[in-house]
Structure 1
Amino acid sequence: MSAVEARLAELGLTLPDVVPPLASYVPAVVTGGRWVQTAGQLPLVDGRLPVTGKVGAEVSPEEAKDLARICALNALAAVKSVTNDLDRIVRVVKVTGFVASAPDFTGQPGVLNGASELLGEVLGAAGIHARSAVGVAVLPIDAPVEVEIQVELTESSLTD
């Protein structure tokens, strides 16, 4: 077990299986041998959304923050799927989060704190990152939140 996965276990979390793509894309790609970009990760748990709808309407900001944590966990699973070892993460460079928002909802940064806080808890200083939190009208399958991450890796013999 990697140190990152041991830390997840300490937090009472397990790395889920990689969420299969909902369309024609892959969950993550390695480029330049040292960078991973994930696809947008929905808060799917065992292949289904725990809740659907707009944040600030059908979904509370607190529920959405918890969903953003799930998205970040799914993003880490996507990173592992192309690196085989989460201990290769040097740092999370960027988190981009999308929040399906009711027209008057402006708390997108607070929702995305769920993902940011999880990455910090799991990766320590390597989890500190730049971030964008964007409100949108709708997300795939009526998900309230979607998160993608970009990470820098240690050198490896992996090929692109």
Structure 2
Amino acid sequence: MSALDDRIAELGLVIPEGSKPVAAYIPAVVSGSLVYTSGQLPMVGGVLPATGKVGAAVTPEDAKTLARTCVLNGLAAARSAIGSLDRITRVVKVVGFVASDPSFTGQPGVINGASELLGDIFGESGQHARSAVGVAVLPLDAPVEIEFVFEFA
């Protein structure tokens, strides 16, 4: 087990095995010293624990928890590309998409679930640039989808 795996375990979390793509793409691509993940849905055991729009079928609090799950899946994708999470030296960028009821404007609060967890895991090197975008619908009717850019050595 790596030092980062130990830190994740201390937080009571587990990095899952990488999810299989639901379309024609690969989970992560390495370019130079960066690993870019595809959009990560909050899948748990191959199933979405919730579906629908945030602010209607899904509460903002539940969506924030789902954003944390996206982090774990993103780390699994990164690990599949670079071999070990201990190679990650910085979280560079997070782009979060929130399937939103037309009246819902709390997308930043939802994506804070991901940002806060990355800070808990990586400390200062987990601070990142970020976008939080409301969208009409996401694949499989997921409430949240997040993509990540990690720097590694």
**TM score, norm. by length of structure 2:** 0.99
SS at match of 1:66: helix
> Cα deviations across residues 86-143 of structure 1 (Å, max 9, x unaligned)?
1111100000000000001000000000000111111111111000000000000000
Q: Counterpart of 1:59?
A: 58
Deviation at 1:55, TM superposition (A): 0.1
Q: Is the 8 A contact 1:96 1:147 kept in 2?
A: yes
SS at match of 2:137: coil
Q: Counterpart of 1:30?
A: 30
Q: Counterpart of 2:67?
A: 68
1:143 aligns with 2:133: no
Which amino acid in the other structure matches residue 9 of structure 1? Answer: A
Which amino acid in the other structure matches residue 124 of structure 1? Answer: G
5 Å-filtered alignment, 1:48-127, equals 48-127=47-126
Q: What is the RMSD computed on CA atoms of the aligned residues? A: 0.5
Gaps of at least 5 residues in structure 2 are: none
SS at match of 2:21: coil
Query: Between the two proteins, what is the percent identity of the paired residues?
Result: 65
| Structure 1 segments of 4+ aligned residues over 4 angstroms from their partners | none
CA distance in 1, matches of 2:4, 2:58: 31
Gaps of at least 5 residues in structure 1 are: 155-160
In the alignment of these two chains, the number of paired residues is 153
CA distance in 2, matches of 1:18, 1:88: 17
Which amino acid in the other structure matches residue 8 of structure 2? Answer: L
Q: Counterpart of 1:2?
A: 2
